[in-house]
Amino acid sequence: MIKRKRLGQHFLSSDTVAKSIVHEAKISKKDVVYEVGTGLGILTPLLCENASKVISVDLDETLVKSAKSKFSHFENLTLKSGDGFKKKDIFDIFVSNLPYSKSRDAIEWLASTSFSHGVIMVQKEFADKLLAKSSKQRKAVSIIATYAFEISVVSKVGKNYFSPPPKIDSVVLKLIKKNNMSKNLIKTINDIFSYRRKTVKNILKQFNKESVMDKRVDDLSGGEIINLARQILEK
């Protein structure tokens, strides 16, 4: 359990919450489901019962071996060890109780990956960042997420539903894919936020571009930030 804590992973221990996540994923027998974080396998069999195929990935080889033994009767299950965000599998639906340390990586990876929709569990603090309305509270990942997905809150999950219990409550989110983003566009948005206290004119100078706009990042709408990133990427 120490290793998993270091990875920022807390195992979901509630069958009720697990069933609600799978229900919200609206999986059909035509769908390929991709799960990152097999863990102890609380979601995996439920996904297999509903999907055409389930691909489940975990960094911990011991947990993958255990799952292979436990779920050997599911012919539609493929289990893999490694970083799920570096695999090249094609899928329709993404489902994950995300390791807290990987939440941002997951959003950026999903923003650049083609799929229909997903259901994820994240720390409440991270969910608040994704859904931030105030320009002062927005982060680069807020802009990326709201451009790439339609996001809705499914439910809040208390810390006592996990083992070991985290220090903060979690939130289940549903993501419906709206726009695919290139990795260069995502990187450029992150770069823009590293200069968020500068004016647009001075930000563009960093990329050898010109503008007379004196607004700062916090004065721009999400769409304007996307357009600014695209302007930077223009040859």
Please report, in tens digits, the pLDDT of each residue of the chain (235 residues total).
334 444 446 899 999 999 999 999 999 999 999 999 999 999 999 999 999 999 999 999 999 999 999 999 999 999 999 999 999 999 999 999 987 788 999 999 999 999 999 999 999 999 999 999 899 999 999 999 999 999 999 999 999 999 889 889 999 999 999 999 999 999 999 999 999 999 999 999 999 998 888 999 999 999 999 999 999 999 7
Structure tokens at 211: 């503008």
Neighbours of 30 (CB within 10 A): 9
CATH class of 2-181: alpha beta
pLDDT for the residue numbered 100 = 79
Cα 193 to the center of its chain, rounded Å: 19
Torsion angle (degrees, nearest 10) of CA 152, 154, 160, 163: -80
Judge whether 226 and 147 are in contact, CB under 8 Å: yes
**pTM given for the model:** 0.92
Which pLDDT score, from 0 to 100, does residue 9 have?
Answer: 63
Between helices 140-148 and 103-111, what is the axis angle to 10°? 40
Q: Where are the domains of the chain?
A: 2-181, 185-233
> End-to-end alpha-carbon separation of the chain, Å?
49
Per DSSP, helices labelled H in 12-164 are 15-24, 44-50, 61-70, 103-111, 124-130, 140-148
